Amino acid sequence: MTDSTAQKPREAARRDPVTGTRFTRVLGVACLAGLVWLFVFAFFVTPADVNQGESVRIMYAHVPGAWLAYLAFVVTAFSSAMYLWRRTRSLTWDRLAGASAEVGVLFMAISLVTGSLWGRITWGTFWTWDARLTTTAFLFITYVGYLAVRGLGGSHHQRARRSAVLALLAVLEIPLVHFSVVLWNSLHQEASVAGNTDVTMDGLMLFTLFLGVVVFTLSYVWLVLHRQRALHLRDLVDETGLDRALEARRAEAASS
Amino acid sequence: MKDLGFILGSWIVTIGGMATFAVAMFRRARRDATVVPPEERPWL
């Protein structure tokens, strides 16, 4: 027999939406459906590539992952600029910057790992100190550092200010990563779709690549929405903890 | 399919990475939400 009084708060906690809304639930379902659709197309519908063979199936995750990491870091820089600008200064911008950077680091890690597995098949090695690979790894480490800086002590506004400055500097690395294949003699191929007016890719493969970008973008929006709300909760918990500590200190001072 | 292990592995890393991130995020948020009343959550 279960204790109904103990069961009730647990039931309520399970039903508590926490960071979810109707919009995020619909978006979450769309992301899941999109990921299944992308997986089916990547594995069972698109043909093998003439040059890359079956390894092209990795590209449908690798390329959108890299693009989404760029997008996430640009959003981080934009939100940071909005925070630093006096007229729009709000911790909401700071939390958006932090959430976007976290998701960007996730996508960058996905891009690095999938790229490494693709490299093992195509180049015969997991890693080489090529210009694109090295600058990408450097970008990844920079944003891991950015997240570490966010975790340092101080008030929420101190955290926001120092990380905003860092985000505006870190975003300057993106053009360096993107154009590294043009600036240096690189093993990595140049852009085959973006900025290319003569795309020779098979229509179905091109569609799957775009599908990947759309699905990853939806997933990015879903993750960032939830994450920035989770960061809002964290900030409130920090404030509550600080208020309690101050109250305890005042009570201690009054009693002595 | 040739190199199936590497190809499947890359998709496991992709979907698994996103899923792990989401689960960890929801766990932490759920824990924090126990001290924050719903009226202090502007999105609700």
Tell me the domain boundaries of chain A.
59-188+203-238
Q: Is B3 on the interface with A (CB under 8 A)?
A: yes
Contact, A215 vs B14, CB < 8 A?
A: no
Three-class SS of residue A179?
coil
Residue of B nearest to A232 (CA): B41
Cβ–Cβ of A106/B13 closer than 8 Å?
A: no
In angstroms, what separates the C-alpha of A198 from chain B's closest C-alpha?
Answer: 28
This complex has an ipTM of 0.93
Across A43-133, where does the E strand assignment appear? Answer: none
pLDDT computed for residue B37 by the predictor: 81
Residues in chain A within 8 Å Cβ distance of B41:
229, 232-233
B20 touches chain A (CB under 8 A): no
Tell me the three state secondary structure of residue A123: coil
Chain-chain contact of B35 with A13 (C-beta, under 8 angstroms): no
Tokens (6 digits) for A191: 């852009």
- What's the pLDDT tens digit per position in A114-172? 999 999 999 999 999 989 999 999 999 999 999 999 999 889 999 999 999 999 999 99
- From CA A21, how far away is CA A57, in angstroms rounded? 34
Cα–Cα dist B22/A223, whole Å: 7
Q: Which amino acid would we find at residue A122?
A: T
pLDDT in 10s for each residue of chain A, 256 residues: 445 555 655 665 566 678 889 999 999 999 999 999 999 999 999 998 888 888 999 999 999 999 999 999 999 999 999 999 989 999 999 999 999 999 999 999 999 999 999 999 999 999 999 899 999 999 999 999 999 999 998 899 999 999 999 999 999 999 999 988 888 877 777 766 666 666 677 889 999 999 999 999 999 999 999 999 999 999 999 888 767 777 778 888 888 7
pLDDT average, residue stretch B16-38 = 92
Q: What is the pLDDT of residue A198?
A: 66
Place of tokens 């899941």: A32
Taking an 8 Å cut-off on Cβ atoms, the answer to whether A58 and B28 are in contact is: no
Q: Chain A residues within 8 A (CB-CB) of chain B?
A: 13, 16-19, 21, 35, 39, 42, 53-55, 57-58, 61-62, 65, 102-103, 106, 109-110, 113-114, 117-118, 120-121, 219, 223, 226-227, 229-230, 232-234, 236-237, 240
Residue A180: both structure tokens together: 């590294």
pLDDT at A17 (0 to 100):
76
Annotate chain B with three-state secondary structure. Answer: CCCHHHHHHHHHHHHHHHHHHHHHHHHHHHHHHCCCCHHHCCCC
The answer to whether the CB of A97 falls within 8 A of the CB of A156 is: no
